[in-house]
Amino acid sequence: MRLRALLLRATQFEVARRRGQLLHVDDRELQKLAHTAADTALTRIIDDLDHYRGASRFTTWAAKFALLEAATRLRKLGWHDGHPPSWRQAREGLSPTLQVALSDMTEALTADQCYVFEALTVDGVPIDVLAEDMGTTRGDVYQTLQSARAMLRARLAQADSV
């Protein structure tokens, strides 16, 4: 019972810390999120007990589960309920020279690479939200991002040598 109370305090702390980013969400929903995150964290702790090495206090180790679970849920809530303007809209405010340079750079990418790169690096979409929206795993999204970065690095190196 004491562990569950500790986890709930940790999730409530994270909710309170991020409250300013979620003004459109009512307090009851945020409390429900804190309780759900604490319950999920407790389940994950029980599943991962054999991984506890004793390098830190058990309560510190356990609280990290709660904080990460709450943060993930809050990010998802913030992004599903009205996220910032899209990359296409953000591009309109850039100088024409920069717009051309970005278009040239992203031309080398596949449609998926371009979508992932823009969503993660420009729009700031959390990777777990993007993976859920794309119907894939975080690992697949990360691999796509790494491929896009490598392609862009090569393109920059080629442009720099010219």
If asked whether residues 108 and 63 sit together in one domain, one would say no
Calculate what percentage of the chain has a pLDDT beyond 90: 25
pTM of the model: 0.55
**Residue 155 scores a pLDDT above 50:** yes
Of the candidates 32, 62, 80, which is a domain's last residue? 80
Cα separation of 9 and 7, whole Å? 5
**Residue 23 scores a pLDDT above 90:** no
Structural domains counted in the chain: 2
If asked whether residues 73 and 94 sit together in one domain, one would say no
Q: What is the pLDDT confidence band of residue 85, given thresholds at 50, 70 and 90?
A: very low
Of the candidates 80, 103, 127, which is a domain's last residue? 80
Calculate what percentage of the chain has a pLDDT beyond 70: 84
| Cβ pair 84, 124 in contact under 8 A | yes
**Mean pLDDT along residues 14-40:** 86
Cβ neighbours of residue 143 closer than 8 Å, sequence gap 6 or more = none
Best CA proximity match to 146, nearest among 162, 127, 125: 127
pLDDT the model gives residue 94: 65
pLDDT in tens, 107-133: 788 888 888 988 888 777 888 888 888
Cα separation of 124 and 141, whole Å? 14
Question: Residue 116: which CATH number?
Answer: 1.10.10.10
If asked whether residues 144 and 109 sit together in one domain, one would say yes
**Residue 105 scores a pLDDT above 50:** yes
pLDDT the model gives residue 19: 82
Question: Residue 26: which CATH number?
Answer: 1.10.1740
If asked whether residues 8 and 75 sit together in one domain, one would say yes
**Mean pLDDT along residues 100-113:** 78
pLDDT the model gives residue 119: 82
Of the candidates 80, 108, 131, which is a domain's last residue? 80
The domain in which residue 96 lies consists of 87-161
If asked whether residues 114 and 73 sit together in one domain, one would say no
Q: Give the number of other Cβ atoms within 10 Å of residue 139's Cβ.
A: 10
If asked whether residues 72 and 7 sit together in one domain, one would say yes
Cβ neighbours of residue 51 closer than 8 Å, sequence gap 6 or more = none
If asked whether residues 110 and 72 sit together in one domain, one would say no
Provide DSSP, 109-136. S-HHHHHHHIIIIII---HHHHHHHHTS
Beta strands in 56-157 (DSSP E): none
Burial of 54 (0-12, 13-18, 19+ CB in 10 A): exposed
If asked whether residues 40 and 97 sit together in one domain, one would say no
If asked whether residues 67 and 100 sit together in one domain, one would say no
| Cβ pair 131, 140 in contact under 8 A | yes
pLDDT in tens, 57-68: 898 889 998 988
